[in-house]
Amino acid sequence: MSDLGRRAARGARWFRLRTDRASIEDEVRDEVESHIDLAVDYLIARGRSPTEAEREARQRFGTADAVHRLLIHADQQERRMQMGRVIREFLQDFRLSLRLIRRSPGFFASALFILAVGVGANAAVFSILQAALLQPLPYAHPEQLHMLWRRVPSSTEPGARRLV
């Protein structure tokens, strides 16, 4: 690859946006390759032949191990930054909610009451449904149970007795 092509490829890397894990690994590998290219350019400028400069640059940099270490370090750093951002946003939201509660305590009390009633009603309905439909009957063989009833004749049926 020519020197101009390498520089153009290096410049194009700055404008790519990547988010998934595979693309981040590719980005780290590209970054390592660009550093190796810079080392090769430096060694060629110091008087080494291109093949010797590339071999020495790759040997000095340790590509496979270095990429792995850089990737792990970048991943840890990214997680730390994201966790810090999440904690900062949570604290900001918490402070805002406290200010809003102080500003309108009546609204907060009514919202809390409605939420409590909704949770209580949900728990009551679920308890009834669980007892009536979801739990098996407390008998050894509930499939053998039968229901007996007697039909009371209505006053319009023939042969029905009237109570006076």
DSSP letter string, 67-104: HHHHHHHHHHHHHHHHHHHHHHHHHHHHHHHHHHHHH-
Tell me what pLDDT residue 135 has.
79
Residues 19 and 65 reside in one and the same domain: yes
Q: Residue 118's domain spans which residues?
A: 106-135
Query: What pLDDT does 161 receive?
Result: 60
Asked if residue 61 and residue 129 are part of one domain, the reply reads no
What does the pLDDT read at residue 17?
45
* 9 shares a domain with 80: yes
pLDDT at 63: 58
- Residue 125 falls inside a structural domain: yes
pLDDT at position 131: 84
152, part of any domain? no
Residues of the chain under the 50 pLDDT cut: 17-19
| Residue 18, pLDDT score | 45
What is the C-alpha radius of gyration for the chain, rounded to an integer number of angstroms?
38
pLDDT for position 157: 63
